[in-house]
Structure 1
Amino acid sequence: MTDWLIPDWPAPAGVKSCVTTRAGGVSQASFDSFNLGDHVDDNPESVAANRQRLTSSLNIQPAWLRQVHGVVVAHADPLCVVEADASWTMTPGVACTIMTADCLPALFCDRAGSRVAAAHAGWRGLAAGVLEATVDRLAVPANDILVWLGPAIGPQAFEVGPEVREAFISTHPETALAFVPSLNAGRFMADIYALARLRLAACGVTAVYGGGFCTVNDPRFYSYRRSARTGRFASLVWID
């Protein structure tokens, strides 16, 4: 699809990645139009048609997950939908696939292009360590890993309570830099991209690219905070 995003990161030539947008599908309002989520009360036939269009357009086998804001990293399997919030593979043509609508999608590869992974990082999963768990599962030195941070809620839109800030700074004090007081007393504006970079740096991964999006303010993307009844877009990474 012409309006899908191709991540701008120095991944090896054999590693491919893509982020879908709202456009180009068959779902009706309020899911219009390229909704890929089968858990949001969209018409199942529309979701199936959109997923088939994704598979055909990219010539890949997506490995879908049942995401639960946890830290489980599964082996990507197109034939089995498992409960996990990240997946990895070394198999060409199998796409590690994450669905989001404000949470942070993170795509991973090693510098050799021999393995890829994708993680779903809402604040709960991010605080619990889903990015670190994905790094561990890749089983290569941290300085051999590249990461691209995809479209998520931006720092001007992500207002959180003090419990969210505490969940991060209690284990990683340096993440205090990612929170600034909001106009509402006792609350904070959080930068999910900065949080991800700080947590990755703490485990030795510093080749981190992407960021700078805001799903709430960019109509190309679904946003749960903008509209609770909405679809999901996908971020995918695979070995060609």
Structure 2
Amino acid sequence: MSGTSTDKPRFIEATWPAPAGVHAGVTTRVGGVSPEPFDGFNLALHVGDDPAAVEANRHELESMLDLPEAPRWLDQTHGTTVAGPEVPAGAKADAAFTDRPGAVLAVLTADCLSVTLASHDGREIAVAHAGWRGLAAGIIERTVDRFSVAGDEMMAWLGPAIGPAHYVVGEEVREAFMRDYPADASAFRGATAPGKYHADLFALARARLRRQGISRVYGGERCTFSQPELFYSYRRDEGRTGRMATLIWRD
């Protein structure tokens, strides 16, 4: 894990028993050259930040992690398209899968959940951007389907996301999940306003992974909203903020 003089991490390694040669984790906002309100390690070109600053941050990321290549950045759409196994740069997708050594997969988030996946033998890896729309529409299921192995031969790590204490949604979000899986109601608890609920993205993702046969699920304990010193948060920062990158690659 890389850090600064204040001991705030710049990259948080995934807390999972990854297969040999598989690396994964998420960046923080610490360091970098982006000005306010994107300070400082923003990695997204689409949020209004100075493109030169973003490119500088991306080059710094490659150097900091000694990546085998530049990350294959996606054009994310909150959909269910999975790019791969080649994953061309700029692909319109919200997840990427590969079985190619050296390919660095990445998604950008700032409250939405990121999910990294790996086969137990380390030969197949993936990462998905999973906000509520993508989760409800099946982005996890679509990503798992790209693997050649069954769910019981896979593991997952959940990156930072907005936690249930701060993520308040309307009835339409709850209904989108319960339409196919009524048991998902357990991931929603009533808020103070009528028709509003606190939603637990981590619980919703775990349930979907479990239904795919994936029982080895790690992470899911960091809230983006409540840690402004480490993470960007779209809701906390009222839409004007940077993005972290969740990365996975294999030697």
Q: TM-score range by the shorter chain?
A: over 0.9
- Match of residue 9, structure 1, among 16, 27, 31: 16
1:236 aligns with 2:251: no
- Match of residue 25, structure 1, among 28, 32, 36: 32
Task: Provide, for residues 194-240 of structure 1, a one-character-per-residue CA deviation record: whole Å limited to 9, x for no partner.
Answer: 00011111121111110111101111000000111100000101102
Aligned position for 1:226: 236
**If the length of structure 2 is used for normalisation, what is the TM-score?**
0.93
Output the amino acid matched with 2:165: Q
Query: Is the 1:155–1:191 contact (alpha carbons within 8 Å) kept by the matching residues of 2?
Result: yes
Matched residue of 1:174: which SS?
Answer: helix
Matched residue of 2:55: which SS?
Answer: helix
Output the amino acid matched with 2:50: N
Cα distance in 2, alignment partners of residues 79 and 52 from structure 1: 18
Output the amino acid matched with 1:174: A
Aligned position for 2:161: 152
Q: What is the correspondence of 1:33-52 to structure 2 with a 5 Å cutoff?
A: 33-52=40-59
Query: Is the 1:174–1:198 contact (alpha carbons within 8 Å) kept by the matching residues of 2?
Result: no
Cα distance in 1, alignment partners of residues 105 and 191 from structure 2: 36
Cα distance in 1, alignment partners of residues 128 and 224 from structure 2: 17
Task: Provide, for residues 44-103 of structure 1, a one-character-per-residue CA deviation record: whole Å limited to 9, x for no partner.
Answer: 000000001111222222110011111111016575211000001122221110100000
Output the amino acid matched with 1:239: R
Task: Provide, for residues 152-191 of structure 1, a one-character-per-residue CA deviation record: whole Å limited to 9, x for no partner.
Answer: 0001011000000000011011111100000111111000
Matched residue of 1:197: which SS?
Answer: helix
Matched residue of 2:194: which SS?
Answer: coil
Task: Provide, for residues 98-120 of structure 1, a one-character-per-residue CA deviation record: whole Å limited to 9, x for no partner.
Answer: 10000000000000010110000
Query: Is the 2:85–2:99 contact (alpha carbons within 8 Å) kept by the matching residues of 1?
Result: no
Q: What is the correspondence of 1:134-173 to structure 2 with a 5 Å cutoff?
A: 134-173=143-182
Which shows bigger deviation, 220-229 or 74-83? Answer: 74-83
Q: Which runs of 5+ in 1 are unaligned?
A: none
Aligned position for 2:63: 56
Cα distance in 1, alignment partners of residues 108 and 89 from structure 2: 16
Query: Is the 1:103–1:121 contact (alpha carbons within 8 Å) kept by the matching residues of 2?
Result: yes
Distance 1:77 1:48, change over 3 A: farther
Query: Is the 1:98–1:119 contact (alpha carbons within 8 Å) kept by the matching residues of 2?
Result: yes
Aligned position for 1:205: 214
Identity across the alignment (%): 50
Query: Is the 2:117–2:154 contact (alpha carbons within 8 Å) kept by the matching residues of 1?
Result: yes
Output the amino acid matched with 1:232: R
Query: Is the 2:162–2:224 contact (alpha carbons within 8 Å) kept by the matching residues of 1?
Result: yes
1:139 CA displacement: 2.2
Query: Is the 2:163–2:225 contact (alpha carbons within 8 Å) kept by the matching residues of 1?
Result: yes
Output the amino acid matched with 2:233: S
Aligned position for 1:128: 137
Query: Is the 1:36–1:234 contact (alpha carbons within 8 Å) kept by the matching residues of 2?
Result: yes
Q: Which runs of 5+ in 2 are unaligned?
A: 4-8
Query: Is the 1:63–1:77 contact (alpha carbons within 8 Å) kept by the matching residues of 2?
Result: no
**If the length of structure 1 is used for normalisation, what is the TM-score?**
0.97
Cα distance in 2, alignment partners of residues 99 and 128 from structure 1: 19
1:35 CA displacement: 0.2
Cα distance in 1, alignment partners of residues 14 and 172 from structure 2: 33
